[in-house]
């Protein structure tokens, strides 16, 4: 492992942790705007996290060790997954870091623990959230893998680093195929980060929530970790989309100025995408749970279409 790569690990982790709460707040701000409210400050998520860190943790007497390790494992898995998607600086990949399948399964590892923690306290809400989350994640999986296969097909590599290096080298706006893949990636982003129309991140009404239900029993610093890891996951998936479609600003050389510019450009691009997500969420209502499979089927056919176009062209 060379010096560049170690530096990359540090930079990427710091940037993703620092930026991700901002994007969460931005989406909320945009949504509040569309509803004619002023909304909380864009730094509200940071304040909430700090407040949560200061609070005590309460464990249910029924809960086991799963409840205690889940926040740590989730955070670690998401942070390692975040290393697979360079936000600002693309180094040479080492030892399979950046592999797109491993990336997907690291997210699955976090979800596995979260779902178990949801069941752990024995409350019916937690179980409901876990059950729905695992069901949704299972039926979106074929779409996700086909989109990733299409990416691998287009770029002739399985490594996200290599894909980004390619897009960064051309620097041009995306090809039509990539835009098609981008739409599928956007649907995956919406599903994976539990947003409308799949899930509603705002509500705490037990019957409608999925992700929030699963982490209902978390409190204090553990809850802060869960919130932060969800934010990081969203940022990473956003970065995957952004850096593939609009690679502008992504740097492959390690210079201070280059990184600084890249960070600023990434924040701008990310803010725009956050705005789009906010508008997208505001423009539709949450779908009924059992209507979701048809939505996913649509996304599936869409991404299969891309592959078929690619294969036969």
162, 174, 282, 289: residue in contact with other proteins (rule CB under 8 A): 289
Site string for other proteins, 194-223 (x = CB under 8 A): ----------------------xx-xxx--
Q: Which residues contact 166 (CB under 8 A, 6 or more apart)?
A: 155, 157
Q: Which stretch binds other proteins (CB under 8 A): 20-28, 131-139, 235-243, 254-262?
A: 131-139
Q: Which of residues 80-109 bind other proteins (CB under 8 A)?
A: 80, 83, 94-97, 99, 101-102, 105-106, 108-109
Among positions 18, 43, 122, 255, the unique one binding other proteins when judged by CB under 8 A: 122
Dihedral (CA of 258, 264, 266, 268) sign: negative
Q: Are the C-beta atoms of residues 98 and 32 closer than 8 Å to each other?
A: no
Instruction: Pick one of 6, 18, 72, 260: the residue that binds other proteins (CB under 8 A).
Output: 72
- Mark the segment that binds other proteins (CB under 8 A) among 148-156, 163-171, 173-181, 275-283: 148-156
- Please name which of 20, 85, 34, 47 lies closest in space to residue 275, comparing C-alpha atoms: 34
What is the Cα gyration radius of the chain? Answer: 19
* One residue of 15, 22, 146, 230 binding other proteins per CB under 8 A: 146
Give all strands (DSSP E) within 112-204, no chain letters.
Answer: none
Q: Does position 225 bind other proteins by CB under 8 A? A: yes
**Nearest approach, Cβ of 136 to other proteins (angstroms)?**
8
Interface with other proteins includes 288 (CB under 8 A)?
no
Stretch that binds other proteins, among 39-47, 62-70, 163-171, 179-187 (CB under 8 A): 62-70
Task: Give CA–CA dist 122/102, Å, rounded.
Answer: 31
CA distance 231 to 211: 12
Interface with other proteins includes 166 (CB under 8 A)? no
Which residues, 6+ apart, have CB-to-CB distance to 312 below 8 Å?
A: none
271 binds other proteins (CB under 8 A): no
List the one residue from 11, 16, 88, 115 that touches other proteins (CB under 8 A): 115
Any idea what the Cα angle at residue 16 is, between residues 120 and 37, rounded to 5°? Answer: 80
Least separation in angstroms between CB 147 and other proteins: 10
| Residue 195, Cβ density class (10 Å: 0-12 exposed, 13-18 middle, ≥19 buried) | buried
Nearer to other proteins, 111 or 233 (CB): 111
Site membership for other proteins, residue 48 (CB under 8 A)? no
Residues 6+ apart with CB under 8 A from 66: 113, 116, 117, 120
Shortest distance in whole angstroms from residue 23 CB to other proteins: 20
* CA separation for the pair 275, 29 (Å, rounded): 9
């Amino acid at each position: 492992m060379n010096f560049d790569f170690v530096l990359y690990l540090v930079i990427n982790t710091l940037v993703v942790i620092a930026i991700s709460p901002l994007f969460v707040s931005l989406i909320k701000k945009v949504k509040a705007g569309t509803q004619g409210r002023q909304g909380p400050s864009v730094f509200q998520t940071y304040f909430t996290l700090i407040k949560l860190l200061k609070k005590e943790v309460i464990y249910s007497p029924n809960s086991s060790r799963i409840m205690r390790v889940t926040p740590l494992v989730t955070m670690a898995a998401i942070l390692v997954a975040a290393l697979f998607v360079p936000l600002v600086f693309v180094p040479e990949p080492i030892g399979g870091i950046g592999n797109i399948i491993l990336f997907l399964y690291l997210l699955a590892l976090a979800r596995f623990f979260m779902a178990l923690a949801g069941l752990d306290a024995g409350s019916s809400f937690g179980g409901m959230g876990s059950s729905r989350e695992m069901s949704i994640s299972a039926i979106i999986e074929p779409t996700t893998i086909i989109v990733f296969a299409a990416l691998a097909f287009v770029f002739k590599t399985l490594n996200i680093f290599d894909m980004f290096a390619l897009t960064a080298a051309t620097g041009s706006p995306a090809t039509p195929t990539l835009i098609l893949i981008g739409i599928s990636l956007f649907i995956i982003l919406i599903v994976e980060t539990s947003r409308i129309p799949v899930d509603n991140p705002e509500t705490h009404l037990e019957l409608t929530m999925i992700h929030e239900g699963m982490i209902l029993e978390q409190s204090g610093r553990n809850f802060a970790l869960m919130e932060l890891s969800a934010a990081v996951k969203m940022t990473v998936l956003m970065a995957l989309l952004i850096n593939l479609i609009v690679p502008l600003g992504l740097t492959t050389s390690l210079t201070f100025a280059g990184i600084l510019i890249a960070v600023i450009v990434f924040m701008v691009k990310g803010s725009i995408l956050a705005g789009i997500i906010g508008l997208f969420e505001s423009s539709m209502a949450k779908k009924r749970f059992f209507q979701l499979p048809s939505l996913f089927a649509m996304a599936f056919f869409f991404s299969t279409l891309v592959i078929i176009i690619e294969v036969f062209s």
